[in-house]
Amino acid sequence: GAGVSQSPRYKVAKRGQDVALRCDPISGHVSLFWYQQALGQGPEFLTYFQNEAQLDKSGLPSDRFFAERPEGSVSTLKIQRTQQEDSAVYLCASSSYRDSNQNYGYTFGSGTRLTVV
């Protein structure tokens, strides 16, 4: 597609429910990132994939958060047993670069707004 697509656009979950957020990166993009953005704050890094390999998951806030990209294209961010503090916008970004000379001009999706009630 022309851009990074994320679905659903909005998600309301009851506390304790599991959720899955989907990211369709730009076709052929090697690098994929997930960020979390709390209300009024800048985005914060969660995890990074290069193709299907998850090279950095240092930003995942707890073991309730899990991300995968099994075929190196679509990625899913899963949150188990959601809590109110998980309420945020979850952003996905992709890039065609993967090496040390990459341009950090990533393309972001519009995000999924998760509200835990």
Partner 1 sequence: DAKTTQPTSMDCAEGRAANLPCNHSTISGNEYVYWYRQIHSQGPQYIIHGLKNNETNEMASLIITEDRKSSTLILPHATLRDTAVYYCIAIGRGTSYGKLTFGQGTILTVHP
Residue type, 4: V
Residue pair 97/30 in contact by the 8 Å Cβ criterion: yes
3-state secondary structure of 57: coil
Nearest-approach distance from CB 106 to partner 1, in angstroms:
6
| Nearer CB in complex with partner 1: 33/65 | 33
**In the complex, least distance from residue 86 CB atom to partner 1, rounded to whole angstroms:** 19
- Closer residue to partner 1 in complex, CB, 84/100: 100
SS3 63: coil
Q: Which is nearer to partner 1, 43 or 88 (CB)?
A: 43
Which residues here bind partner 1, judged by CB under 8 A? 4, 31, 33, 35, 41-45, 48, 50, 55-56, 59, 91-93, 98-111
Instruction: Give the count of beta carbons closer than 10 Å to the beta carbon of residue 44.
Output: 13
| Residue 11 beta carbon to partner 1: minimum distance, rounded to whole angstroms | 15
Residue nearer to partner 1 on the CB measure, 55 or 117 = 55
Rounded to the nearest angstrom, the gap between the alpha carbon of residue 102 and the centroid of all alpha carbons in its chain is: 20
In whole angstroms, the minimum distance from the beta carbon of 33 to partner 1 comes to: 8
* Strand ranges, E, within 25-102: 31-37, 44-50, 53-56, 65-68, 75-79, 88-95
